[in-house]
Every structure is written in structure tokens, then in C-alpha cells.
């Protein structure tokens, strides 16, 4: 506690994204899978990276502990200090996060940071209804709070967007103070 483990998971660690990450991230993010994404797919240039990623507070590059290779970005967006909540932001390809066993680790690390350091009490996220991470979120205690009907259009048809949310006092790891 109060050591250097703040942004460190089991197999990943979180650091500031740097310009050198742009190429690797572009490659990662081009592999979206069939789900589509709620984030812009436009991370194809260093200038986009410098304009949209680098200046953001609470935006971290996620690197593998084994070889320091960046696998994606995660962070906290739209922080509402009064109500103490934020949007969880995740920019990963389907393969780099949801199929490689890193999801639980990344979620746990960023959640710990959000609750224990930033002192938030709620995280939320909109995901397509076909998102491959729904069971990972559910295992981590996230609840489906609603369904925005036909809010997405992909591959010729409408999909719903799910709102999922995590409240600190529902998570036994963090419930000790509100």
C-alpha cells in the first residue's frame, strides 16, 4: 500500500502513452473484430495521437509486464467530480484484450486506481450488445443498467447499446468507505 503498485496489475502495467506507441496502437486497433467499437477508429496517424490521446488526463497505455509491449489504452473519461463518477475508456482490439486473458487484470487495475486514488465511487461504460467482454464485466461486478434500443448501426442492421455500471460500495474490495 502506498507503494509503486498503484498502476500495476499481475501481467500488465499502466503508464503514460507516448508518441512511440502510436504505430503499435494503430496496428492493434485495426483488428476490431466484428463487434465494432464505440471509440473512433481513426487512430491511424501520429498527429491524431498527439491531438487526441497525449493531452488527456487519466489516459494510460497498457503494457505487458513480460515484454513492455503496449496492447491498448484504458482510462477514465468525463470525470464528474461532484458526483464522483467517470466513464471507463477502453481502446483495445478484440484479440489484444478480450481473447488473451488480460481483461480481468486491466479492469482490476484501472478500477483500483479509480476508486482508491481518484476517489471515485462509480464507473460506467456504454458497450454494443454484442460486446465480447460482457461476461468479464459481470464477473467483476458490473451491472447492466439499461439498453438504448437501436442506438448503433453496424453491418446493415441496428444493435442496442448497453449501459453498464459499477458502484464502489457494491464491490467488497472497495466498500470500506464511501
Partner 1 sequence: MTVTLTGKRIDLVPFTDADVPALATGLADLALNRLVNPGIAVPFTVDDLLDADGWLAQSRAVADNHLWSMRDRQTDQFIGICALDVEDAAARSAEIGINITAAAYRGRGYGSETMRLVMAYGFMQLDLNRQFLKVFAYNHAAIRLYQKLGFQLEATEREALYRDGVYYDQLYMGLLRAEWEGHAHAGQ
Positions touching partner 1 (CB under 8 A) are 80-85, 121-122, 124, 143, 145-154, 158, 163, 165, 167
Q: What letter would DSSP give residue 69?
A: -
> CA 140 to CA 86: how far, in whole Å?
17
User: 63 or 168: whose CB is closer to partner 1?
Assistant: 168
Distance of CA 78 to the CA centre of its chain: 13
**Backbone phi, psi, residue 143, to 5°:** -115, 145
CB 98 within 8 A of CB 130: no
Whichever of 69 and 153 has its CB closer to partner 1, that residue is 153
Minimum Å gap between C-beta 122 and partner 1 is 6
Nearest approach in angstroms of CB 105 to partner 1 is 26
Q: Least distance to partner 1 from the beta carbon of 134, Å?
A: 15
State in angstroms the smallest separation of the CB of 42 from partner 1.
15
The residues, any chain, with a CB within 8 Å of residue 117's CB and separated by 6 or more, are: 6
Name the minimum Å distance from CB 24 to partner 1. Answer: 28
The residue (of 33 and 146) whose beta carbon lies closer to partner 1 is 146
Nearer to partner 1, 55 or 101 (CB): 55
Cβ atoms 124, 141 nearer than 8 A = no
Cell 500495476 -> residue: 8
Comparing CB distances to partner 1, the nearer of 5 and 145 is: 145
Amino acid at each position: 500500500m502506498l507503494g509503486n503498485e498503484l498502476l500495476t496489475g499481475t501481467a500488465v502495467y499502466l503508464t503514460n502513452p507516448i508518441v512511440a506507441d502510436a504505430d503499435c496502437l494503430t496496428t492493434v486497433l485495426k483488428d476490431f473484430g466484428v463487434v465494432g467499437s464505440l471509440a473512433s477508429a481513426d487512430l491511424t496517424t501520429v498527429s491524431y495521437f498527439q491531438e487526441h490521446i497525449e493531452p488527456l488526463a487519466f489516459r494510460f497505455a497498457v503494457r505487458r509486464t513480460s515484454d513492455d509491449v503496449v496492447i491498448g489504452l484504458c482510462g477514465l473519461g468525463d470525470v464528474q467530480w461532484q458526483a464522483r463518477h467517470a466513464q471507463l475508456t477502453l481502446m483495445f482490439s478484440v484479440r489484444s484484450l478480450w481473447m488473451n486473458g488480460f481483461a480481468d487484470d486491466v479492469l482490476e487495475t484501472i478500477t483500483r486506481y479509480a476508486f482508491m486514488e481518484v476517489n471515485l465511487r462509480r464507473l460506467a461504460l456504454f458497450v454494443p450488445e454484442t460486446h465480447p467482454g460482457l461476461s468479464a464485466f459481470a464477473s467483476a461486478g458490473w451491472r447492466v443498467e439499461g439498453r438504448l434500443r437501436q442506438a448503433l448501426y453496424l453491418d446493415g442492421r441496428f444493435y442496442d447499446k448497453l449501459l453498464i455500471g459499477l458502484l464502489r460500495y457494491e464491490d467488497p474490495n472497495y466498500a470500506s468507505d464511501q
